[in-house]
Chain A
Amino acid sequence: MTRRLLRWSPLAPATVLLVLFLAGPVGYCGYLAVTDTQLTGQESASFVGLANFRHALADPEFRNAVLLTLVFTVVSALLGQNTLGLALAGLLRRASRPVRTVTGAVVITAWVLPEIVAGFLLYTFFERRGTLNAVLAWLHLPTQDWLFTLPILAVSFANVWRGTAFSMLVYSAALAEIPQEVTESAEVDGAGGLRRLWHITLPMIRRSIGTNLMLNTLQTLSVFGLIWALTRGGPGNRSQTLPVFMYDQAFVKSLIGYGTAVALLLLVVGALFSAVYLRLLREEV
């Protein structure tokens, strides 16, 4: 028994750190979410049960944040990063070497840059006096103040710009594992590009698609810095996704209890996606 304990003792430092700084806050999250804790006068916090959650469901601003999070996730993660990443991975396999190197380097640089730098770069790109409008004007196309008229789409495109490299890497690895003969024999049988994609490539990489969709969604659910640098959730609350809403409620409006209830909901959604992701992985391993 002592020997066994000794054997597993190296797990202790990591476990202590995880329990204190991850499990602890998650537990505290559960506690705070059922209180009316405020930034000022913390001693007077009292138990309010599910009031915070009921309040959330009735709060139009919360529903707005849920809807925007949904738009942000679907447009940037599911449609944008995932599809563009797959397309890039497919094209990279056919392209000539210099083009492959350059494109890969540019897309990956966007991913490696610190989040806040990426935010500023895209701010200058979308701003009224920024590059996008300059290009549109040069092409004689109508310009507009993107961060004001379509803020949620602007932040979604920003997230595509920043996050596509991840999907590209995942799919490049997945496509590299498809045996050459399979695609070749389909080609000899006269299957066109789209049919090959639909009937052969996609089914063969479906597990990678599943895990990639999960990871993209989880990443996108927790984006804060990018939106903060671009719009701070504004104008008004038109790009206020759940993390920004959470921050706003807890720190601008000082409603820690309410902000934590929102955080808990976000955490539960994240946990569901993580669980599905683990299921997918378990099949693979």
Chain B
Amino acid sequence: MRGGRRRRERWPLARRAVRRRASADAALLVVAVAFAVPLAWLVLASLDERATLRVRLPAAPTLHNFTAVLTDEITFTPMLNSLLICGGATLLTVGCAALAAYPLSRFRSRFARPYLLTVLFSACLPVTAIMVPVYALFVRVDLIDTRYGTALFLAAAQLPFAVWLMKNFMDGVPAALEEAAWTDGASWFQTLLRIILPLMGPGLSVVAVYTFIMMWGNFFVPFMLLLSPEQLPASVSIFTFFGNYGAIAFGELAAFSVLYSTPVILLYILISKRLGGGFTLGGAVKG
């Protein structure tokens, strides 16, 4: 009797749950398809020698577009520039952020909190807005059209968020191990380098990879600060596909876009577990 009643109660609930799951699935699939269409163009057009603006299956899939763009001028030089600029800037950002995070995380002071709040505040400012004065300034101090100048600015622009993240990760490393090292006579730099940073390895890689992804995709900064074609990173050189001839080679544009996007997608997958769970990206503002 009791069992029968329970069963009667449970069945509609279970059915409702199934129905609810099905409707959620259906709604999500609609959104997924809508989001996937432009991505599908990217993949399909890159394999289609006669790609147009529309999503369509290539008549004869070929890697021709890729072999066509794999030249020094189109792919290798811009990608190398991207790597030099973003790699250098990432090293600088991560280095400065790790150093700055150390006292902020370890010592008490009246000015630590205002410093951190200022840093967080500047992490939110729209960097786009200051590109005109940055350009004017770079002309004055002769940093314009140099890759290291661009890297320096990118590093500074990404630094506030990196400091904030790094400090939070460093807070998670217990101080007990350091204290042992202190008594053995290690300097703060040795403790930071040998003990804290290795212990926060995953956090460190999140900061580095996130910083690199943001810089790799940045268009406006190199667009403003670099002029000569041979110095341009991939984010700006991509405009050469819109050539001076009027006709656009869409298949090659797609192939190049795939090559240019792959590194950041792979890197994102590498850190996505950490980005998705626990870490809510509070303050991740640069697009």
> Are B268 and A112 in contact, with the CB atoms below 8 A?
yes
Looking across the interface, which residue of chain B has its beta carbon closest to that of A225?
B219
What 0/1 readout, one digit per residue, does chain A (157-178) give for beta carbons within 8 Å of chain B?
A: 0000111001001101110000
Tell me, yes or no, whether A53 is within 8 Å of chain B by CB. Answer: no
Bound form: Cα–Cα A113–B128 in Å: 19
Whether B24 pairs with A94 at a CB distance below 8 angstroms is yes
**Complex contact A20–B156 (CB within 8 A):** yes
Q: Inside 8 A of A172's CB, which chain B residues have their CB?
A: 276
Verify A124–B24 contact, CB threshold 8 A: no
Contact status of A24 and B137, CB under 8 A, knowing A99-B29, A270-B124: yes
Would you call A103 an interface residue if the criterion is a C-beta within 8 Å of the partner chain's C-beta atoms? yes
Assuming the A-B contacts A91-B24, A95-B21, A225-B219, are A250 and B132 also in contact, with contact meaning beta carbons closer than 8 angstroms in the complex?
Answer: yes
Is A71 interfacial (CB-CB < 8 Å)?
Answer: no
Contact partner of B20 (CB less than 8 A), chosen from A10, A94, A102, is A94
Please determine whether B129 and A131 come into contact, CB atoms closer than 8 angstroms: no
- B210 CB to closest chain A CB (Å) equals 11
Whether a CB of chain B sits under 8 angstroms from the CB of A275 is yes
Q: Which residues of B contact A94 (CB under 8 A)?
A: 20-21, 24
Contact A22 B157 (CB under 8 A): yes
Pairwise interchain contact A25-B53, C-beta atoms closer than 8 A: no
Q: For the complex formed, measure the closest distance between the CB of A173 and the CB atoms of chain B, giving whole angstroms.
A: 4
Q: Are the CB atoms of A266 and B129 closer together than 8 Å? A: yes
Interface string of A118-141 (1 = CB under 8 A from B): 001110110101110010000000
Which residues of chain B are within 8 angstroms of A222 by Cβ–Cβ distance?
A: 126-129, 287
> Which residues of B lie under 8 Å from residue A247 when comparing CB positions?
131-132
Provide the residues of chain A in CB contact with B156, threshold 8 Å. 17-18, 20-22
B125 — which chain A residues lie within 8 A by C-beta? Answer: 218, 267, 270-271, 274
- A198 on the B face (CB < 8 A): no
The answer to whether A120 and B107 touch across the interface, beta carbons within 8 angstroms, is no
* CB of B39 closer than 8 Å to a CB of A: yes
Write out the residue numbers on chain B whose beta carbons fall within 8 Å of the beta carbon of A8.
103, 107, 109
| B126 touching A91, Cβ below 8 Å | no
Q: Bound complex: CA of A140 vs CA of B278, how far in Å?
A: 47
Give the distance in Å from the alpha carbon of A92 to the alpha carbon of B27 in the complex: 10
B interface residues, how many (CB within 8 angstroms): 93
Instruction: Indicate if the CB atoms of B152 and A124 lie closer than 8 Å.
Output: no
Q: Are B280 and A116 in contact (CB under 8 A)?
A: no
- Are B54 and A130 interface neighbours, CB within 8 A? yes
A14 at the interface (CB under 8 A from B): yes
Q: How far is the CB of A196 from chain B (nearest CB, A)?
A: 13
B46 to chain A, nearest CB (A): 11
SS class of chain B's interface: helix, strand, loop or mixed? helix
Q: Check if B280 sits within 8 Å of A278, measured CB to CB.
A: no
A124 vs B36: C-alpha distance in the bound complex, in angstroms?
A: 13
A213 on the B face (CB < 8 A): no
Q: Which of B185-204 contact A (CB under 8 A)?
A: 188, 192
Q: How far is the CA of A264 from the CA of B129 in the complex (A)?
A: 7
How far does the alpha carbon of A21 sit from the alpha carbon of B132 in the complex, in Å?
A: 13
> Are B54 and A99 in contact, CB atoms less than 8 angstroms apart?
no
Contact of B77 with A by CB under 8 A: no
Interface residues of A in 167-196 (CB under 8 A from B): 169-170, 172-174
Question: What is the CB-to-nearest-CB distance from B243 to chain A, in angstroms, rounded to a whole number?
Answer: 14
Contact B96 A243 (CB under 8 A): no
> CB distance A112 to B38 under 8 Å?
no
Asked if residues A25 and B137 are in contact (CB atoms below 8 Å), the reply is yes
**Are A131 and B54 also in contact (CB < 8 A) when A10-B99, A22-B157 are?**
yes
Instruction: Tell me how far the C-beta of A261 lies from the nearest C-beta in chain B, rounded to whole angstroms.
Output: 10
Q: Report B257-287 CB contacts with A as 1/0, cut-off 8 Å.
A: 1001100110010001001100011111111
Q: Are B133 and A14 in contact (CB under 8 A)?
A: no
Residue ranges of A at the interface with B (Cβ–Cβ < 8 Å):
7-8, 10-15, 17-18, 20-22, 24-26, 28-29, 32, 37, 42, 84, 88, 91-92, 94-96, 99-100, 102-103, 106-110, 112-117, 120-122, 124-125, 127, 129-131, 134, 161-163, 166, 169-170, 172-174, 211, 214-215, 218-219, 221-225, 228, 243, 246-247, 250-251, 256, 259-260, 263-264, 266-267, 270-271, 273-275, 277-278, 281
On B, residues with C-beta under 8 Å from A are 20-21, 24-25, 27-29, 31-32, 35-39, 41-42, 45, 52-55, 92, 95-97, 99-100, 102-104, 107, 109, 115, 117, 119-122, 124-137, 139, 152-153, 155-157, 159-160, 163, 188, 192, 213, 216-220, 223, 234-236, 238, 250, 253, 257, 260-261, 264-265, 268, 272, 275-276, 280-287
Q: What would be 12 A-B contacts, judged by CB atoms less than 8 Å apart?
A: A18-B160, A25-B137, A29-B133, A92-B28, A94-B21, A115-B219, A120-B257, A121-B38, A130-B53, A260-B136, A267-B126, A278-B120
